[in-house]
């Protein structure tokens, strides 16, 4: 972290007491919704007392949000959607009660989830479709346009059009791929691996992109508002890969910003500005201006890791949660 004269917005924080580990956070409109490790979501609307909404009968293993609803997967085998009015809708129940390891929401509202080696897609109309991956699914992501799902697994990624008769496409790279993301323009696909590295493909020709040099496994990835850079964890600083031009990060080095004493744990890019919120394993949270690396203190270090960060759609509120059940919403208006 920078010197002690770093400007701070920490005193603008509204403290929230989830009383459970926070495994995710999203905004539905102006309401921050904290995904708790066990059973429930916690809705924290402005000016109101936080309200718990039970959505699962056990642990919540995965969550995704499209700004209008939150989809969660539980260890009891259920997939549930929760709307901004706190009503819930059951989307699926695994017949064998397998863990729902990953979930994703498409731009058109379709939902994907995985259990073991099986990936499912439920469009807004029709029955769910299933594809068996070569190994246990490591991550899911929908393309920014069209109903196309990326399924990360051992030795690569499968690209699947659930509504098409054509066979799925396979992008291969040895190793275990544990998360996956499309670039906002749909030109690139990037995975986080079991080893301290990312791997990517340029989709037009399958060209490989190796992104290495991390000190620990990458657990968080976020695209900047303009889609020209990918911000990631995996080191005791923010690692930012350039994606301008036809070759993306190929042959280029990442920028390293906001160095700290402990590894970075999560990241969230501002929805409009060239600013990124970063959380660290020691509970520190910073706002980092990407153009020059300037820092603003969002949360002082101390306690357990920051496990969740999210901006509202206007970029005037930032919510955070920690592994030991602390949370807050920072007013940046």
Residue-by-residue pLDDT tens, the chain, 333 positions: 444 578 999 999 999 999 999 999 999 999 999 999 999 999 999 988 999 999 999 999 999 999 999 999 999 999 999 999 999 999 999 999 999 999 999 989 999 999 999 999 998 887 899 999 999 999 999 999 989 999 999 999 999 999 888 899 999 999 999 999 999 999 999 999 999 999 999 999 999 999 999 999 999 999 999 999 999 999 999 999 999 888 889 989 999 999 999 999 999 999 999 999 999 999 999 999 999 999 999 999 998 999 999 999 999 999 999 999 999 999 999
The answer to whether 191 and 199 are in contact (CB under 8 A) is: yes
The answer to whether 194 and 178 are in contact (CB under 8 A) is: yes
Angle at 204 between CA 200 and CA 210, to 5 degrees: 20
Domains of the chain, earliest start first: 22-264 (2.130.10.10)
Q: Which residues contact 274 (CB under 8 A, 6 or more apart)?
A: 224, 225, 226, 289, 290, 291
What tokens were used for 170? Answer: 């396979």
Q: What is the pLDDT of residue 106?
A: 94
Burial tier of 118 (Cβ tally within 10 Å: 0-12, 13-18, 19+): middle
Q: SS in 3 state form for 113-178? A: EEECCEEEEECCCCCCEEEECCCCCCEEEECCCCCCEEEEEEEEEEEECCCCCCCCEEEEEEEEEE
What tokens were used for 143? Answer: 């393309």
Reading phi first (left if > 0) and then psi (alpha if -120 to 50, else beta), residue 100 is in: beta
The answer to whether 243 and 261 are in contact (CB under 8 A) is: no
Q: What is the pLDDT of residue 3?
A: 46
The answer to whether 52 and 38 are in contact (CB under 8 A) is: no
Please tell me the pTM assigned to this model.
0.96
Helix, strand, coil % in the chain, rounded to nearest 5 = 0, 55, 45
Q: What is the pLDDT of residue 4?
A: 57
Residue whose tokens read 């153009």: 291
Look at residues 227, 252, 225, 221 and name the one whose alpha carbon lies nearest to residue 239.
221
For the chain, give the number of residues.
333
Q: What are phi and psi of 137, to 5 degrees?
A: -65, 130
Q: What are phi and psi of 247, to 5 degrees?
A: -105, 0
Q: What is the pLDDT of residue 156?
A: 97
């Amino acid at each position: 972290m920078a010197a002690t004269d770093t400007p701070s917005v920490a005193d603008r924080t509204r403290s929230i007491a989830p009383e459970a580990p926070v495994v995710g956070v999203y905004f539905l409109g102006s309401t921050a919704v904290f995904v708790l490790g066990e059973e429930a979501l916690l809705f924290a609307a402005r000016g109101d007392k936080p309200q718990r909404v039970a959505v699962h009968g056990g642990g919540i293993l995965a969550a995704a949000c499209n700004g209008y609803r939150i989809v969660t997967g539980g260890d009891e085998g259920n997939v549930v959607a929760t709307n901004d009015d706190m009503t819930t809708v059951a989307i699926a129940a695994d017949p064998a009660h397998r863990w729902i390891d990953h979930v994703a929401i498409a731009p058109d509202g379709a939902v994907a989830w995985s259990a073991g080696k099986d990936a499912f897609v439920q469009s807004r109309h029709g029955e769910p479709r299933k594809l068996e991956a070569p190994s246990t699914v490591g991550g899911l992501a929908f393309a920014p346009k069209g109903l196309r799902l990326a399924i990360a697994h051992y030795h690569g990624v499968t690209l699947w059009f659930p509504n098409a008769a054509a066979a799925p496409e396979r992008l291969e790279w040895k190793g275990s791929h544990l998360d996956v993301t499309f670039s906002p323009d749909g030109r690139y696909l990037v995975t986080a691996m079991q080893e301290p590295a990312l791997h990517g493909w340029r989709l037009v020709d399958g060209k490989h992109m190796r992104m290495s040099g991390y000190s620990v496994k990458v657990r968080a990835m976020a695209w900047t508002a303009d889609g020209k850079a990918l911000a990631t964890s995996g080191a005791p600083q923010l690692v930012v890969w350039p994606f301008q031009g036809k070759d993306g990060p190929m042959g280029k080095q990442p920028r390293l910003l906001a160095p700290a004493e402990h590894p970075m744990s999560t990241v969230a890019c501002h929805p409009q500005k060239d600013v990124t919120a970063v959380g660290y394993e020691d509970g520190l949270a910073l706002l980092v201006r990407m153009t020059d690396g300037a820092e603003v203190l969002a949360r002082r270090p101390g306690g357990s890791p920051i496990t969740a960060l999210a901006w509202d759609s206007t970029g005037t509120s930032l919510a955070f949660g920690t592994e030991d059940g602390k949370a807050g919403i920072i007013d940046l208006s």
